Structure 1
């Protein structure tokens, strides 16, 4: 079952609720004013932490919390906007969704996503942990959690929502001054939960290209409404975002899917998909079943690594064991054998050239559109079999199981600079491609669109893009001279922190003012600002300024998650803020 906003009773949006509720007349002293910059899920989690800590500590001081966001989408942010179409789905089953923290279970009316959905749904279908949901529906849940947090504000906490982008932060005596285009506020503590505020490096010289032809950021998908139906659209990137764009240009224009086939509306453009690797993302079924044991990368192994006095070389020390574990998991399913020694004996009997390897998982050789389509078809079949019956899906699931432990190593013991760079720039994306894919239903839609001739997969080695004024088209070609042209170019990559590329306006301003500096691991600069292992900015000592979420990548690992506990630096911000004030 895929749940969407049509399956629930009408819900009031958060900003309307905020504007209607009676604001407390409390006017705290300016020294006790704090700020959260970023209104998405991470900003919500920080707010919820603070409110509950004040309630638990029974503080007598009065606090004012200023919560800034670029727009009115507080609680859900743009990724889980309640205004986006329902065909945009989350890529994990709903049994894992809970925006509350267990430590506050006695202090608030906590409901995980399934419990909330069971109360607000307007159809008789039972809610199952293996179901999926639209991102807009998850957005309504996140806004409900925000409303619950606001409803239970202690008497000594005042909350003000400011729907304006923060453009600058400056030091002001013992405080920090937050500036928007219309005002400024002095605060004693800041949580930066700015989310996906980063731009990608331009694919082409923008000054040459009409703005309507080159779409640098993929969201919101409403920006594709002006693309003509007779256009040829090139999408660089073949991951989750590519799927969203493809569905916006087809299902979003009135096309329908029926029994594995696509029924066009006649408004669809022709879509060309290409990427640096030409490898589609793997779909997956619900990740909610009992896993087979991990033989090598178990808790004791990670405990030993955590006790190391020096940094770990990811490629030399960790990656070979990941490869062994993936191979063991693959053949555990194929031979229906969980014992380590019997498994190793069975594997050793297979000639080397015929063994399943990490290379075969991460880098299959796809040189034609036909091979790409066959790869997608086989992946759908394997995902339908599930991890318990599909060796491929079982092997792919290893990364998602060990990723929390890898993240702990990453941020505590640390990896050497060179190996962290390889993990950040290659292995992270390669493993995510096979382990964190879309629901099966979405990849079935992509296959149907390809069979209908609306999506064309273009395998290119080391593609380069140029703008050709004659004909007003983009031309993408590979090192062998193979070329394709199209009218519109959409960048489906998601930007990551990159201070040296000046790809986020607020952080670029802070860098130019000398208020932050780049994080460095040996000779490697990941792209984020320098912070300690709790997320506190190293260069602004007088005011507690903490980072939480995507802006910590490079210091912390794999933050693009709704998890309430993974890499939770907001709890340290709350501790420091209450202690300081």
Structure 2
């Protein structure tokens, strides 16, 4: 009997789980005659991995509704492999409640499953139970001669020739794992601090201050932040929301009828960022009626045209005009379809003129002005992205009132179905992200714009933020926040453009964001070793991969035939951790392409490999 082929997958979280699901789906067509061993390496249990592990605070929640989370393909995903439908998180919870599916979880998580509604935002530990079930289901669907071996530990090195077997070193394991192919599905990783963060850390050490660098909030030592003391917080995205929750409810405070009742253990958070505002609230109503046809103005043909003109497109020059036109198409299609009484032009007439207008000229603005009488019904992407541009306040006190009004208005808008074009824009953002993955690293501006509009917190969290602001536990600093160090007084000092001349001082500074991906400076020994071996990175730190199947690119211009990578640290990163049903799922497409490449390689190895045997 022939010896088994071997694949090592490094990373057992959602991406590694999704890849196993796609291997199982494609195996009936592509799996050859030889047995296959899959070695799964991760220090955390398979399924949830680090971020979605079941052992974490129940206060930490997803920023997606249960009905909007799936790990399974549907017929909207452009696959070469077969569609294998499966339950959304919400449907799976129903199956558990009604006895059709078993879930292995702590009693308090089972209680959450029993009470989970489709439009609820589940805890991350509940999502970890769902992911574990998906992993076990995918593993059970593999052919009998495909075996999965789990290894709890950190992979630290990959060695081996391009035309031969690879060796994956796992910390604490005496012998490396031998592999025909290696796939990295590492998720978000920590990175060494950059020069600015190192200087802040040295300043903090000299003056016995607290400096918490970019990190996963759930893994940060927050005990160093003392009750009642001011804390500067730089960043107002999802990491800030986690920080806010863990330092308030996590310290015994509680919310009652829109009022925060403090425990007395909370610090006082002074929060600011580049935009100076939190991410927009998640939309709080379901989709109804006709969806906008997507893609329309930024699809595969436009991507091919861009790549024919330049290998390194400039986001603002080459992509933003098409992005804006695509999002405008989604917005106005929905407005004229669902709310025609608010338009002065029929959909057919508008669509024809909109398609003929240039992507970034005055024609679109003139057309919209004539077709949509109420300016509040028009899409203003710049105002959505940078609401505090040019806004100035005479004092922090007046700015607090303005920020509470801004957050209240955002909550009202994002929970009112009369504003359903906002949900159409969300679908447009997903469509655009699916197209942009083919272009590699296009910089951080797009990712930040997408996250601000599409990856915000549940409305509940922003209502809690309002309560914390009224209680004085959270205070807003404004936009273009900067942090200075005062050697004479041993303090951090924060300023913003929104309140000129004002500043806030504190003995603690928290960088409320994830570390930037960094191939060269990653704290992953595996990625650092890959960089030393010649793997190619981008200026923003992403690992370069072939967008067709995830094979790793090297600085000498070659593609490694036996090494693959998927996920947020690569140039093929996608916009969200999980896929919303019936939205095309670019991560599913990537997983499928990689799974098929792996199985095809093993079934039909390159000629040099065959002769070597």
Q: TM-score, normalised by structure 2?
A: 0.77
> Which residue number corresponds to residue 443 of structure 1?
462
- Rounded Cα–Cα distance in structure 1 between residues aligned with 2:470 and 2:169: 52
- Rounded Cα–Cα distance in structure 1 between residues aligned with 2:331 and 2:426: 15
Shift of 1:566: 1.6
The answer to whether the Cα contact below 8 Å between 2:44 and 2:50 also exists between their aligned partners in 1 is no
> How many correspondences in the alignment?
532
Among residues 270, 273, 280, which one is paired with 2:271 in the alignment? 273
Q: Give the direction of change, closer, same or farther, for the CA distance of 1:375–1:542 in structure 2 (3 Å limit).
A: closer
- Rounded Cα–Cα distance in structure 1 between residues aligned with 2:418 and 2:528: 49
> Which residue number corresponds to residue 237 of structure 2?
239
Q: Give the direction of change, closer, same or farther, for the CA distance of 1:61–1:126 in structure 2 (3 Å limit).
A: same
Q: Give the direction of change, closer, same or farther, for the CA distance of 1:556–1:549 in structure 2 (3 Å limit).
A: closer
Shift of 1:213: 1.6
- Rounded Cα–Cα distance in structure 2 between residues aligned with 1:79 and 1:373: 31
Among residues 36, 55, 58, which one is paired with 2:9 in the alignment? 36
> Which residue number corresponds to residue 544 of structure 1?
562
- Rounded Cα–Cα distance in structure 2 between residues aligned with 1:97 and 1:445: 24
- Rounded Cα–Cα distance in structure 1 between residues aligned with 2:544 and 2:462: 39
> Which residue number corresponds to residue 423 of structure 2?
397
> Which residue number corresponds to residue 75 of structure 1?
47
- Rounded Cα–Cα distance in structure 2 between residues aligned with 1:273 and 1:466: 17
The answer to whether the Cα contact below 8 Å between 2:31 and 2:600 also exists between their aligned partners in 1 is no
Unpaired segments ≥5 residues, structure 2? 98-109, 352-365, 393-398, 603-613
1:63 aligns with 2:58: no
1:360 aligns with 2:383: yes
1:150 aligns with 2:139: yes
> Which residue number corresponds to residue 507 of structure 1?
527
1:207 aligns with 2:207: no
Shift of 1:505: 4.0
- Rounded Cα–Cα distance in structure 2 between residues aligned with 1:346 and 1:563: 30
Q: Give the direction of change, closer, same or farther, for the CA distance of 1:354–1:547 in structure 2 (3 Å limit).
A: closer
Shift of 1:425: 2.5
Shift of 1:277: 2.0
Q: Give the direction of change, closer, same or farther, for the CA distance of 1:28–1:94 in structure 2 (3 Å limit).
A: farther
> Which residue number corresponds to residue 197 of structure 1?
189
The answer to whether the Cα contact below 8 Å between 2:274 and 2:479 also exists between their aligned partners in 1 is yes
Give a deviation string over 1:30-65, Cα, whole Å, max 9, x none. x62210011110011112222343355564312221
1:176 aligns with 2:166: yes
1:299 aligns with 2:296: yes
The answer to whether the Cα contact below 8 Å between 1:361 and 1:396 also exists between their aligned partners in 2 is no
Which stretch shifts more, 124-133 or 255-264? Answer: 124-133
Query: What pairs with 1:111-510 in structure 2 (closer than 5 Å)?
Result: 111-121=87-97, 128-172=117-161, 174-183=164-173, 184-199=176-191, 201=194, 202-203=196-197, 205=199, 206-210=201-205, 213-216=210-213, 217-220=215-218, 223-286=221-284, 288-290=286-288, 294=292, 299=296, 302=299, 304-306=301-303, 308=305, 309-311=308-310, 313-315=317-319, 317-322=321-326, 324-325=328-329, 328=332, 336-337=342-343, 339-340=346-347, 341=349, 347-348=369-370, 357-365=380-388, 366-367=391-392, 368-385=399-416, 388-390=417-419, 394-412=420-438, 414=439, 421=442, 424-466=443-485, 468=487, 470-471=489-490, 473-478=491-496, 481-499=501-519, 504-510=524-530
The answer to whether the Cα contact below 8 Å between 2:187 and 2:567 also exists between their aligned partners in 1 is yes
Give a deviation string over 1:365-420, Cα, whole Å, max 9, x none. 254232222111111122232xx313xxx4543442123432343244x49xxxx7
Structure with larger RCO (C-alpha < 8 A, sep 6+): 2
Which stretch shifts more, 298-307 or 280-289? Answer: 298-307
- Rounded Cα–Cα distance in structure 2 between residues aligned with 1:251 and 1:323: 38
SS of structure 1 residue aligned to 2:569: helix
Unpaired segments ≥5 residues, structure 1? 1-26, 520-524
Shift of 1:354: 11
- Rounded Cα–Cα distance in structure 1 between residues aligned with 2:54 and 2:540: 33
Give a deviation string over 1:55-78, Cα, whole Å, max 9, x none. 555643122211111x23321022
Give a deviation string over 1:511-555, Cα, whole Å, max 9, x none. 1232x1225xxxxx3432232122111337564211111122x34
- Rounded Cα–Cα distance in structure 2 between residues aligned with 1:240 and 1:410: 23
Q: Give the direction of change, closer, same or farther, for the CA distance of 1:370–1:430 in structure 2 (3 Å limit).
A: farther
Give a deviation string over 1:327-350, Cα, whole Å, max 9, x none. 747965595348344797773386
- Rounded Cα–Cα distance in structure 2 between residues aligned with 1:108 and 1:409: 23
SS of structure 1 residue aligned to 2:263: coil
Shift of 1:431: 3.7
Q: Give the direction of change, closer, same or farther, for the CA distance of 1:96–1:176 in structure 2 (3 Å limit).
A: same
Shift of 1:322: 4.5
SS of structure 2 residue aligned to 1:299: coil
Q: Give the direction of change, closer, same or farther, for the CA distance of 1:230–1:407 in structure 2 (3 Å limit).
A: closer
